[in-house]
Structure 1
Amino acid sequence: MPTFKLPLSGDVVQTISPWTAFLSPIGNQFGLINITLGQSSAPQVEQEVLNDIGSYGKQLGRIGDALIVLLAHLPADTRLTPDERKAIDALDDMLQQIADVKARHNRAAHRPRKIAAAA
């Protein structure tokens, strides 16, 4: 007796290659893990800055280094409210922690307290 199959009931074979799924871009994603940091009003500009100038980490590092210099030149008698002092101290602590991480990876690091003490 012959095998009888209804329409759309035949053998179904689908090969799924993890490499094909991993290496094929979907929209603007490419890879197994993709991180979306939000919408940009000018994604082409942002992408060019990231590619040609520096990553977010590098940009924030430069801003932190500049803040260390500015804080080192802040007069000692500057009157700050408790909230302002708290904000400066929190920034100082964070910049110290960043400098510690950089030092563990043999990277040059500015240290706020060291600069302030030398001034």
Structure 2
Amino acid sequence: MTDFDALQGRWRQVRFEENGVVDPPDTHGADGAIMTISGNRFHVAIPGGETLIEGAFVLDETTSPKAIDWIDSVGPDAGRPLPAIYTLSSDSFAFAAADADMQRPADFRGGPGVTLRGFSRA
């Protein structure tokens, strides 16, 4: 099974860090937010509530670390690829994404301009 296939479905957010700060106010997610992945599209919403962010992604599982580019369809980063790395298992998914004007992160340490999110299978 490819990572693209394994990523399909619903994921509950369990970790958030932005610019080196754990659990700051989160405009694109929330504690327990659900990210649904269908094909190459993603949608994040509060359970039973409003859409927080949505868009598309491109995976490259041949790199080390594995790469993913997020392309929001709404908000200030709409249409601008956010370079990221990811890890994926059957029940967990995490990524570290840089701001649109930055280099792809090399690790999951976080810091200025980097957002870390972790998910468990919902």
Q: What TM-score, normalized by structure 2, do the two folds share?
A: 0.22
Which of the pair is proportionally richer in helix?
1
TM-score for the superposition, normalised by structure 1: 0.23
Between 1 and 2, higher relative CO (CA 8 Å, sep ≥ 6) is seen in: 2
Instruction: From the CA coordinates, give the structure whose radius of gyration is larger.
Output: 1
